[in-house]
């Protein structure tokens, strides 16, 4: 099993994912532990000297003006009883900080999120500016490595002073309180420690504040969300590529020289990635006139037994000579047959503008990663301890109250990502809708089903589900970070709400995953139809010659018509081009993804219960069954 060494300065997103999702353990850098202990010894020495230090010999938040006394005043209250715990007031202060701040509500965070919180918190404490003792940090590390997962209810952080409440749920288990999961079983924190062979910890100076003051929940959730989004960016490109192949679309909007003129990094990367996914495709950029349009199967549709095995008919429409005026140049290049592909040099926005839209989401992802990478190795608790500060005259120059716990850097970039997710889902839904709509799907069957008897709905309602998911994502995209609600009697009068922001983004990636799965599921059906229709036309021309092909063309002139000879020559040319063409196929990466889908989801010839199909498509995307090349494309 992989072991990650923590020194406070080199933690990466991949390290966090390894701990959160793959069970990696951590070890503490021995040299850096000396710095950790030096800060703890410094605090202890200053307390012995009687120095007032925020959160060590004073209360917290709006209680910061209350200095700790030499003994408990409550013991002298009428009827009061001495506290049975053998704790000093500074120890009681730290203990009470944790137990009173562990007040989150809701369902427990996923174990992966909690494990990510733990490794992030350990790493920031390793910087040696927090005052925690080495033995306490080692106990926290042992808790992580032993598989104890504290129960952390999802809701309760306002993102400043950091994630106080959820981090208190982490720390309370270290004290033997709260609840935790161990080997999948939920139990008290004390019992989890006992089963793991660990002892509860008694906190010393500033250790409670070091444990619960920071951005670990919002950061952990952000890391996991960005990891999901990185994969989904690749899936979005793959879905777009499969849809583009299913449309026999145009590649001009993907060309490298085009994007060099507007070189937003994400846009350039998205175009490049889709070009790579479409490599070896013979569907992209094929001539308009080769593409037949779908026609409902009839018993008389095909002549031979091999042809009669097909579940569809195909048709073109011939353009008469007297309808070509002003279009002569076009018809010298393209044969005068209207099939499935409209005679226009550009595709709809959802295909043509895909690099610009996917690329903008990529750029949002990159910006969020930049901020997260900084935060992973930042000190985010308060106050900050500088035991080696040169020339310090007063304690305030070595123990400095600042605002590194404020989550706004994370909150704002995650609000950017939050707004980007519905955009990616929306353009995916538009491509899906274009596939099923006979007015826009370039000659494919309505709702991607033959519907010979008028009883089939095909993929009609799949688009409804995608639309519902996109609407739900859009309504959740409003930033939490713009709504600060003051706390702690207005001592903490501006907060980030970053934990809500990051948690919502992680939740939204699951719906985005499902939208993309629906597009892949639908595009696979469309691709089968497009491929089979083109190859049926090619096979017909090979077997029956141009006369057999002519029977599939509407508005053909009679043999006694003056235009018949021109018609015959043009059909012969069409037949020759079809016979000479290689087998029509999608890009290699698209073909591989299509084959993966078809391993468990069969082509739908006529209506069937689709619940299993959709669940399977969603599962495949969620479990990362598709190889998309460089997932982020950047």
Q: Which residues are marked as active site?
A: 54
**3-state SS, residue 83:** coil
**What residues contact residue 566 under an 8 Å CB cut-off, 6+ apart?**
321
As a whole number of angstroms, the distance between CA 139 and CA 198 comes to 8
Beta bridge partners, 3, equal 25
Beta bridge partners, 105, equal 155
As a whole number of angstroms, the distance between CA 18 and CA 14 comes to 6
Nearest to 385 by CA among 160, 163, 128, 204: 128
Q: Concatenated DSSP letters for 592-607? A: HHHHHHHTTS---SS-
Q: Assign residue 185 a region: left if phi > 0, alpha if psi is -120 to 50, beta otherwise?
A: beta
Q: Assign residue 208 a region: left if phi > 0, alpha if psi is -120 to 50, beta otherwise?
A: alpha
Beta strands (DSSP E) in 300-433 are 312-318, 337-338, 384-385, 399-400
Phi, psi of 188 (to 5 degrees): -70, 155
Phi, psi of 320 (to 5 degrees): -60, 160
Nearest to 208 by CA among 128, 101, 98: 98
With 0-12 / 13-18 / 19 or more C-beta atoms within 10 angstroms meaning exposed / middle / buried, residue 344 is exposed
CB 171 within 8 A of CB 209: no
């Amino acid at each position: 099993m992989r072991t990650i060494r923590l020194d406070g300065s080199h933690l990466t997103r991949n390290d966090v994912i390894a701990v959160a999702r793959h069970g990696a353990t951590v070890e503490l850098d021995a040299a850096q532990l000396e710095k950790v202990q030096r800060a703890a010894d410094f605090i202890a020495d200053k307390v012995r000297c009687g120095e007032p230090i925020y959160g060590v010999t004073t209360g917290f938040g709006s209680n910061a003006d209350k200095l700790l006394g030499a003994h408990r005043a409550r013991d002298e209250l009428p009827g009061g009883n001495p506290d049975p715990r053998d704790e000093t007031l500074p120890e009681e202060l730290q203990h009470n900080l944790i137990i009173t701040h562990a007040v989150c509500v809701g369902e427990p965070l996923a174990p992966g999120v909690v494990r990510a919180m733990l490794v992030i918190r350990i790493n920031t404490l390793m910087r040696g500016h927090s005052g925690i003792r080495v033995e306490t940090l080692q106990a926290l590390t042992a808790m992580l490595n032993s598989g104890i997962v504290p129960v952390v209810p999802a809701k309760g952080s306002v993102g400043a002073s950091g994630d106080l409440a959820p981090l208190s749920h982490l720390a309370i288990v270290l004290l033997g309180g709260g609840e935790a999961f161990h080997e999948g079983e939920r139990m008290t924190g004390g019992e989890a420690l006992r089963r793991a062979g660990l002892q509860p910890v008694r906190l010393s100076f500033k250790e409670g504040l070091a444990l619960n003051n920071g951005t670990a929940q919002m950061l952990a959730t952000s890391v996991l969300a960005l990891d999901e989004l990185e994969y989904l960016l690749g899936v979005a490109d793959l879905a777009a590529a499969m849809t583009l192949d299913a449309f026999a679309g145009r590649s001009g909007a993907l060309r490298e020289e085009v994007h060099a003129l507007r070189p937003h990094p994400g846009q350039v990367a998205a175009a490049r990635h889709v070009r790579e996914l479409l490599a070896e495709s013979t569907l992209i950029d094929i001539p308009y006139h080769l593409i037949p349009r779908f026609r409902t199967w009839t018993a008389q549709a095909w002549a031979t037994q091999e042809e009669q095995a097909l579940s569809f008919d195909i048709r073109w429409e011939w353009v008469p000579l007297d309808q070509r005026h002003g279009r002569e140049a076009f018809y010298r290049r393209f044969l005068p047959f209207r099939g499935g592909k409209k005679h226009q040099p550009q595709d709809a926005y959802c295909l043509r503008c895909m690099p610009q839209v996917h690329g903008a989401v990529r750029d949002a992802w990159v910006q969020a990663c930049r901020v997260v990478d900084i935060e992973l190795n930042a000190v985010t608790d308060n106050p900050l301890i500088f035991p080696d500060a040169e020339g310090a005259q007063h304690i305030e120059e070595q123990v400095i109250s600042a605002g590194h716990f404020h989550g706004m850097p994370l909150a704002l970039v995650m609000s950017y990502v939050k707004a980007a997710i519905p955009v990616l889902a929306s353009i995916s839904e538009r491509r899906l809708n274009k596939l099923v709509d006979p007015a826009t799907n370039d000659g494919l069957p309505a709702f991607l089903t033959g519907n010979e008897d008028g009883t089939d709905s095909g993929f009609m309602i799949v688009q409804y589900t995608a639309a519902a998911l996109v609407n739900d994502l859009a309504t959740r995209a409003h930033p939490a970070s713009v709504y600060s609600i003051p706390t702690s009697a207005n001592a903490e009068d501006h907060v980030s709400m970053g934990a809500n922001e990051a948690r919502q983004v992680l939740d939204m990636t699951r719906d985005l995953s499902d939208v993309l799965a629906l597009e892949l599921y639908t595009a696979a059906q469309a691709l089968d139809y497009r491929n089979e229709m083109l190859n049926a036309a090619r096979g017909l021309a090979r077997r029956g010659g141009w006369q057999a092909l002519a029977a599939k063309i509407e508005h053909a002139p009679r043999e006694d018509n003056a235009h018949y000879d021109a018609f015959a020559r043009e059909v012969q040319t069409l037949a020759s081009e079809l016979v000479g063409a290689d087998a029509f196929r999608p890009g290699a990466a698209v073909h591989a993804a299509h084959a993966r889908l078809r391993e468990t989801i069969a082509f739908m010839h006529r209506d069937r219960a689709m619940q299993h199909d959709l669940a399977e498509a969603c599962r495949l995307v969620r479990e990362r069954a598709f190889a998309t090349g460089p997932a982020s494309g950047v």
